Amino acid sequence: MLFFNHSMAKSTPVYPILFIPSFPNSKDLSPHIKPSGSGNAPVGASEEQFGEVLNHYFGDWVRSQQEMLPDGHERPYTADFLIVEPNTGLHLDIEVDESHSFATGEPTHYLGDDDYRNKCFVDAGWVVIRFAEEQVVSQPARCCRFMANVLAKVTGNTAITKQFADVLPVTPMKQWSRPQATSLRKKKYRQRYLSPT
């Protein structure tokens, strides 16, 4: 598994967080485990709006709530969004990470929380890109620019990046620990960037 993001080894991961599997054939990047259909996982507070932005830039390459059943598992994982590059079959699992659940108040997507899940997707041949929810709310076009650059890097096709020539890079954000996620809930962190001004 190839992994890179903005952080250095042994430091706190920085969003966007990126995992790229090793592909044996550079012309066929389709995963060995394909989606098994649409799931019914809860949709995050920011995902509907971000989905519209994804559709604007990537069109019919975008699917939401796609399930992937890893080998040896009884239950599938559901990707927030899936982008499928049609020429190579490359699958991008796009995840929107919030620090805590509105429904339960429980911390989520903290350091180490998604490690096994990420591994399952990468082992299945999917690229995984994780954004902090605040990034997709405050800079959705920049997040799309990041995705387009990943598509270009992995597939070698840079055409998709041309529409982002005037879009700045996404501002990085450190991933939170479990105690930090609890603190963010107490400070009503999500409400601040999700509430209209």
Could you report the per-residue pLDDT of 35-69, keeping only the tens digit for each?
Answer: 998 877 767 668 889 999 999 999 999 999 999 99
Distance from C-alpha of 192 to C-alpha of 190, rounded to nearest angstrom = 5
pLDDT score, position 196: 60
Residue 2's pLDDT band (cuts 50, 70, 90): very low
Whole-number average pLDDT of the chain: 91
Could you report the per-residue pLDDT of 92-151, keeping only the tens digit for each?
Answer: 999 999 999 888 989 999 999 999 999 999 999 999 999 999 999 999 999 999 999 999
Preceding peptide of 107 cis, ω within 30°: no
Q: Which of these, 188, 139, 126, 189, lies nearest to 167 by C-alpha position?
A: 139
pTM of the model: 0.92
CB 61 within 8 A of CB 84: yes
Half-sphere exposure of 76 (CA within 13 A, CB side): 18
Distance from C-alpha of 169 to C-alpha of 29, rounded to nearest angstrom = 26
